[in-house]
Chain A
């Protein structure tokens, strides 16, 4: 084996497990220990659409430089699933390691000359140490974590501390777990040279960051935003958004004495009913939201058109997965962009938000409620499976107690008394946003008929073409108002410096930022922008205008974000270059680097501005 560079705090471990065998908590223990040692780490679950018995992988990247995207090339595989072993052996980079259960002799077909084998008789050790069949199964996972601790020099005290936290209140479970860890450590100490060339060293690179998945962050954000009604239909990968909301609401929204709840959560009969309930609740003045994924978004189209046209605030969190149709339900993609932007028939457009981190999931969920009520329209937050279901190192959540909920233009009884004639769709402020009333506000003023049909400024049904056109033109005026209040994009430079720029959004951020470094190492320099919302504001337009080429990085086949930029900003198609990834796995920096350099290699005129 050859010692490649410095592999301290810079490697990828892949766990090959069988789903439903308790591997998830052991694997998380491994990740969290590295996080606790102050080292940036990013885990990805690669799991089947199945409950028990199929292969599942957990891939952990450790990166001193703080690169939190996925990386190709696996340094060490922990193999405890015979089903996928052939592929798992093949996935190890030359010179890497294959850790396996050596209770039975490894068949010749699994032997490669260019990798290192670490055999640990996990099954035999468990059978000897434990009598309970379930423990024999579970502790195999803990033993390999112990072995990895010895191989990578993970601090044992950190692992013990984490077990203590995990089993708080169930302390009697701790000794058996510690015993399993030690079995792993001792076996490595007795049989192998340790530590490996790939190993960890304590750092202070995490600061005050937290580790959480995006879906939980969305659920928590909805609690902080004051959502009181949630309606949903179970669908991977969005299910845990409402589950997290429900769990946090159980903590913060239940009266300790009466048990009464300041929240109502309904599991609907389908996604149509879920969004219908959300619209009904928002119409009646409660903050309400739903969460879904691609197939659910397709079903919600009709109602989204109603909410757009009848101007009812609606918050929808779409955790994107690989489409079309049922697609790959447990793989990631950014492929609902056009579907969400123009959901429903007729001329419709919807406000979109694109979070990149759990902190942004929290912040943008709160913003989504404010924006939906300010603009009286649906706001769709597009996260994805990678962000939603994987743990991420994230800046901590922050809440400003001075922040008030922006409930938008709502007239109460006193305000109605001052008005001669209330017009629900009268553009009083000339910004396209009109005043609404909640049912039950005033005995004789402010009632109106909400409808998906055309109506005049006083909400009265009309088939007068001029009145119809006035109304839809006002909706565009409102759309233009939205441009100035939706979250601004993140610019990576104060002003454009280079001929080429890269544009990305959502979870491509991690890989894109790393790709910028890879490009810089090759003396290729680019400006960068991360889009956080739609409609696009002027900053996005300026960025495109001020570059000769703009590489649009996205995780779908059809370059949907590029299409949206072309449609909405009239950008020159010749200068917009797609960098795409759509195999269902999170995009990597290497992939972006290769696609960009390949394109630039055909452009000899490529130069650095000024």
Chain B
């Protein structure tokens, strides 16, 4: 890490459709360790938002507690952020989303924040299909408290102190498919080419989008014997497909070999274009997605890319039939029944 932010920017940075250059999407200087996978994911978020022409102030970023939960401060300084309490980001995001369905909600969490203390809220935000992007920066350990194993650490994985993890790990991607998440992807912080289109597709998804990103902890879990080290992950990554996110109205120019490509049409006319690498896997079929993840696990591989998507789903607002106008924009005249009505209510209570 550095404590001095270089002010130099390329003089001919390309502007997006809103007229913003990519640096407009940056946040405060990261205070994470040099080489932390989380910083790469933050860079991916910045890149995706820039390329998708998102107005930063129309996005709200939320997190819990932990190294990963610090990162919303390092992206999108023109967005409101909320660093809440440990494991409770999903509930805060749910309330925020209910208050205003006009914003994009980005939740960032870690493996401790999600798979341990926050498991209850994680499970239930999936059930409600809250329209948000939920990213887990997954390093298999508790970084801020100096490297204890987390619930996503693989059984038999060795941590920096040489201790072998005795317990079965929680596979967040499988779990979320099982629970009915409508967009589930897995990626690696070291693979920006894959991560950025996944973030873009996820931001565009009209329901709960989950990306589990393996993000090695350089300080406490990058040792030999750890299954979350850079070296190990690089050697064991297996992708479902190469992913491209094609925005609405864009002509598809990339061509893949016949029979191996798949276009998933999103609700707004955009596409996720996949060049399939995995056999017997259909991203629109929950069962085959589950099989693909489990088969990879059995082989000791980490399956990455888009795993499952259900583009035609109803989010929480649709299920609750809330007004199209954001609830936070309603005023007394919309909400208060008034004095005459109260007189009638009184009369009924006599």
Q: Please give the residue numbers on chain A whose beta carbons come within 8 Å of chain B beta carbons, in ascending order.
A: 36, 206, 208-212, 220, 223-224, 226, 228-229, 231, 252-253, 255, 259-266, 268-270, 272-286, 288, 302-303, 306, 396-401, 404-405, 437-444, 447-453, 460-461
Contact = CB atoms under 8 A, between A and B. Distances in A.
24 contacts: A210-B350, A211-B350, A226-B335, A229-B98, A231-B91, A252-B337, A255-B323, A260-B321, A262-B322, A262-B327, A262-B334, A264-B322, A272-B88, A276-B90, A277-B91, A277-B94, A280-B91, A281-B96, A281-B328, A286-B95, A286-B99, A303-B85, A448-B81, A451-B83
Contact of A404 (B102, B332, B337, B346): B332
Given A284-B328, A452-B83, A399 B342 contact: yes
A399 B93 CA distance: 34
Interface string B85-122: 10010111111111110110000000000000000110
A273 B121 contact: yes
Nearest to A165: B348
Q: Is the interface of B mostly helix, strand, loop or mixed?
A: helix
B91 A272 contact: yes
Nearest to A437: B80
A309 to B, nearest CB: 10
B99 A210 contact: no
Given A261-B320, A440-B60, A461-B73, 13 more contacts: A223-B336, A229-B327, A260-B324, A261-B321, A264-B327, A266-B128, A266-B320, A270-B120, A306-B84, A399-B336, A399-B342, A444-B78, A449-B81
B330 A262 contact: yes
B238 to A, nearest CB: 34
Given A273-B91, A280-B95, A447-B57, A439 B337 contact: no
A461 B327 CA distance: 31
B87 to A, nearest CB: 9
B77 interface: yes
A439 B96 contact: yes
B336 A224 contact: yes
Contacts of B261: none
Contacts of A437: 80
Counting chain B CB atoms within 10 Å of each CB, which of A264, A268, A269, A441 scores highest? Answer: A264
Contacts of A404: 332
Given A264-B322, A401-B339, A443 B57 contact: yes
Contacts, number: 224
Interface residues on B, range: 35 or more
Contacts of A288: 95, 99
B120 A273 contact: yes
Interface in B51-82: 55-58, 60, 62, 72-73, 77-82
Contacts of B103: 284, 439-440
B31 to A, nearest CB: 9
Interface of B: 28, 55-58, 60, 62, 72-73, 77-85, 88, 90-100, 102-103, 120-121, 123-124, 128, 316-317, 320-324, 327-328, 330-332, 334-339, 341-342, 345-346, 349-350
A460 B27 CA distance: 12
A453 B316 CA distance: 30
B94 A283 contact: no
Contacts of A448: 80-81
Given A261-B321, A401-B338, A439 B94 contact: no
Contacts of A450: 80-83
